[in-house]
Structure 1
């Protein structure tokens, strides 16, 4: 089974997934920047995402707004996937890995994905619909004191917290940006320091780009705690870790739900009542 991101990269480089990444080239690179504050919400946020096109597939990785240099796009266009897997910028490496895996393991039932429709509507309506689809991948907590341990949420999205509250699940909000939630709860910046206090983890795919995913994966694999990933970043990468610590994934490849008001689709892997389909083996 794949147990580390570096191990997954080694498998890709070795051709374990099919086409030689040294012979596959990125045709198009682009960034998407977004600023939003939903109707009725006090707090807003910004996103910036690097996306790479490989044939029909698009791979993506979010970055802190303003941190991607303009040269990143020039570096990507026409480069091979193998070259970009060694790029000095983590968002480039993850976007290239995501594009390659989306190309060879598309989100389809044959690859373990279950399509989940998102309705048309305004940004808040669609955000809440996505939150239901994501949070409902968490199992109900077991009875007893251990079952009352909160969910560690890594990557604060207020609609996700709202859905957790509706399910009666306590949570520990954590985000590198810090600050407070919509309910004036303090947001920790130290996910590793909260792992022993939680009973499950709900984490953003952005952890792939900032280097914190491996610690979450190792903890879940060691303790057996549920680890549910919601992924615009690395939507094709994270399903590879099912059975190695990840218990479920809500995969959302480009175009993301916030780009327009039309209907869309998430792709869900694993979850309550479904056997965890093991990720790839070396």
Structure 2
């Protein structure tokens, strides 16, 4: 595998290396066989609020790459654009979620998750949607190496993650582009980078790949020596490529996601080093 240096390991540089065939087969020879969207609405028992998710997924051979989108924003034509198209063409698609899902599928195909790639498999037990959400949150928060009382910027508000941070006696600043309030009435900030200065560590959703906010946060963590932990359904095969380049750890969760099934699942946790 080609190892990139810190100077050229940005998201755009990674895409350029894929286009050039530096990390695997020529992406122009790799065609997407299946494109699909997954939509859900959820309100866990005992919770006063709910939410909706929508995810674009592309299948390349045995691999599935995904990118979350804001519900209702993905045009129906996107699926037709993707089916039968080669990865090189989709990396140039005008829609960022298509580009991210294509990159994720390609990298998942080239380097699947597993011990050989440096990942620790973490079993996710069967259970209700809330039980599985809390189990995932526990695995994610365990990747944070922060003392009690530290403040964590949480980009992409997930109530179970906030609960898990509380159990560790960690303070947090919840952030989401939609703003609003958390389950407990706490204000949610909309500008992650503005809030990052007052936080000791960053806990960030892979959705930031699709909305263009990942790179500024990665550069902030790199410049200030802060721990950046990613929880990734979006770009689960993309984000481990940034380990040692601003990203400290990744909890990767490729499709199918924990909220799709009540049975057991698997998380793939990466901590430190380069992939």
Give the TM-score range, shorter chain: over 0.9
TM-score w.r.t. length of structure 1: 0.94
Distance 1:140 1:214 in 2: 23
Distance 1:140 1:150 in 2: 9
Q: Secondary structure at the match of 1:197?
A: coil
Give 1:75's aligned residue: 81
| Aligned alpha-carbon RMSD (Å) | 0.9
Aligned residues: 269
TM superposition shift of 1:3: 2.4
Give 1:137's aligned residue: 143
Counterpart contact for 1:149–1:197, Cα < 8 Å: no
Of 55, 65, 89, the match for 1:49:
55
Moved over 4 A (4+): none
Q: What stretches of structure 2 of length at least 5 have no aligned partner?
A: none
Kindly report which structure 2 residues correspond to 1:22-171, keeping only aligned pairs within 5 A, or say none.
22-141=28-147, 148-171=149-172
Counterpart contact for 2:149–2:169, Cα < 8 Å: no
TM superposition shift of 1:278: 1.9
Q: What stretches of structure 1 of length at least 5 have no aligned partner?
A: 142-146, 271-275
Matched, 1:267 2:268: yes
TM superposition shift of 1:148: 4.2
Distance 1:18 1:167 in 2: 41
Distance 2:14 2:234 in 1: 16
Counterpart contact for 1:152–1:202, Cα < 8 Å: yes
Kindly report which structure 2 residues correspond to 1:198-213, keeping only aligned pairs within 5 A, or say none.
198-213=199-214
Distance 2:42 2:67 in 1: 19
Give 2:195's aligned residue: 194
**Per-residue CA shift, 1:216-246, capped at 9, x if unaligned?**
1000111110000000000000000000000
TM-score w.r.t. length of structure 2: 0.96
Distance 2:206 2:34 in 1: 22
Matched, 1:277 2:267: no
